[in-house]
Copies of this chain bind each other. A is one copy, B any other.
């Protein structure tokens, strides 16, 4: 078989070359079946150097058009695909963007990913996905993995503990890996952020209920601690949404009516809700930190015989898919999730190109549905 091996400097007329191509393609189809083909294979078949092939493929205008054409043809025939590791080694690029999130579940995450992917796709970047499950140690490990894998940028989705991992984040930044935070940023971390005006969202929700005539409006928080302390299980968003609610209530002079109940979404214990509904002067409306929480509370109330929105009104936050699927459809505050993902990707790409980037705050929007209605007499 070795007599088939092409000799190096054996160029010739085009027809001749074509003949050899056919011949050697057969040879190579046998030999290279089990490995990726390289520019050297192409070079050998055409009797040119691999640098010529490289230049031809990259469209270097110094290469004659006939050579370029030959190279293209052989490349196509033997199914050549560039080795991205080798290219990456030379250019110090991986075309990888890391996305670190605390939970892969939920439409917020999905929409942001979708939005980011649509932008990154066009620039031939791929997404390296990590999920930390709110575990700071896992989060740090994943950040280190991302750095080790030499991603060219990192998108941080609501990662509750990133405050505690600011050291790794700085480490990434020292290596000039751009970072963008989607959601809310801890003050320890210095990176451009894309967020929603949660305070405004909270205000919109409360204001909507107030305009419907409700006065006794309760904020449902996943964690009371979040609202006042510096430790935030659910990020700063919770405190911000609550602050918007406060502002609306105070605008109406309802300082004395301000009140919250805590429902842990993981535990789903509804007794605080049941208790407050039993009191005299029970609330007529609820504004929840999240749609999930709002839906749980609403469905629990239904199961106890309350009518929605006749007896009780509910407003959620995030406008997830299911907000419009449950009965009654849930009024919610929407954030432009897809756009946030797109912007995040753009911010990363801009930073990669050396452009400075700063924060971007999106405006939330009220999606009125049937779960909120006029306050009962």
Q: Using a CB–CB distance below 8 Å, which chain A residues touch chain B?
A: 33-34, 36, 79, 81-86, 88-89, 94-96, 99, 103-107, 110, 113-114, 117, 124, 126-131, 145, 147-150, 171, 174-176, 292, 295-296, 298-300, 302-303, 321-322, 325-328
Instruction: Determine the distance from Cα of A328 to Cα of B322 in the docked complex, in whole angstroms.
Output: 15
Instruction: Determine the distance from Cα of A176 to Cα of B147 in the docked complex, in whole angstroms.
Output: 28
CB contact under 8 A between A325 and B292, given known A104-B110, A126-B130, A129-B113: yes
Contacts A81-B147, A106-B110 known; list 17 others, CB within 8 Å.
Answer: A34-B176, A82-B148, A83-B150, A84-B148, A84-B149, A85-B88, A96-B128, A103-B110, A104-B110, A104-B113, A113-B131, A117-B129, A126-B149, A128-B128, A295-B325, A303-B327, A326-B327
Instruction: Determine the distance from Cα of A328 to Cα of B302 in the docked complex, in whole angstroms.
Output: 9
Instruction: Determine the distance from Cα of A129 to Cα of B325 in the docked complex, in whole angstroms.
Output: 28
Q: How distant is A354 from chain B, measured CB to nearest CB, in Å?
A: 13
Instruction: Determine the distance from Cα of A99 to Cα of B326 in the docked complex, in whole angstroms.
Output: 31
- List residues of chain B with CB within 8 A of the CB of A34: 176
Is there contact, CB below 8 Å, between A85 and B150? yes
- List residues of chain B with CB within 8 A of the CB of A117: 129-131
- List residues of chain B with CB within 8 A of the CB of A328: 303
Instruction: Determine the distance from Cα of A328 to Cα of B243 in the docked complex, in whole angstroms.
Output: 33
- List residues of chain B with CB within 8 A of the CB of A147: 81
Please, could you name 27 A-B residue pairs with CB atoms under 8 Å apart, sorted by A?
Answer: A34-B176, A36-B175, A81-B148, A83-B89, A84-B150, A85-B150, A96-B128, A103-B110, A104-B113, A104-B114, A105-B107, A105-B321, A117-B129, A126-B130, A127-B129, A127-B130, A128-B128, A295-B322, A295-B325, A298-B327, A299-B326, A299-B327, A303-B327, A303-B328, A322-B322, A322-B326, A326-B327
- List residues of chain B with CB within 8 A of the CB of A83: 89, 150
Q: How distant is A145 from chain B, measured CB to nearest CB, in Å?
A: 6
Residue of B nearest to A133 (CB): B114
Q: How distant is A98 from chain B, measured CB to nearest CB, in Å?
A: 9
CB contact under 8 A between A128 and B131, given known A85-B150, A148-B81, A328-B303: no
Cross-interface CB contact of A127 among B81, B94, B128, B321, cutoff 8 Å: B128
- List residues of chain B with CB within 8 A of the CB of A298: 327
- List residues of chain B with CB within 8 A of the CB of A36: 175
Instruction: Determine the distance from Cα of A206 to Cα of B85 in the docked complex, in whole angstroms.
Output: 53
Q: How distant is A298 from chain B, measured CB to nearest CB, in Å?
A: 8
Residue of B nearest to A138 (CB): B121
Q: Which 8 A-B pairs have the closest CB atoms?
A: A299-B327, A105-B110, A129-B129, A85-B88, A85-B89, A302-B327, A104-B110, A127-B129
Is there contact, CB below 8 Å, between A299 and B325? yes
- List residues of chain B with CB within 8 A of the CB of A171: 79
Residue of B nearest to A370 (CB): B303
Instruction: Determine the distance from Cα of A86 to Cα of B96 in the docked complex, in whole angstroms.
Output: 16
Instruction: Determine the distance from Cα of A70 to Cα of B84 in the docked complex, in whole angstroms.
Output: 34
- List residues of chain B with CB within 8 A of the CB of A88: 85
Q: How distant is A156 from chain B, measured CB to nearest CB, in Å?
A: 16
Residue of B nearest to A300 (CB): B327
Q: How distant is A343 from chain B, measured CB to nearest CB, in Å?
A: 18
Instruction: Determine the distance from Cα of A107 to Cα of B107 in the docked complex, in whole angstroms.
Output: 10
- List residues of chain B with CB within 8 A of the CB of A130: 117, 126-127
Is there contact, CB below 8 Å, between B85 and A85? yes
Instruction: Determine the distance from Cα of A127 to Cα of B34 in the docked complex, in whole angstroms.
Output: 25
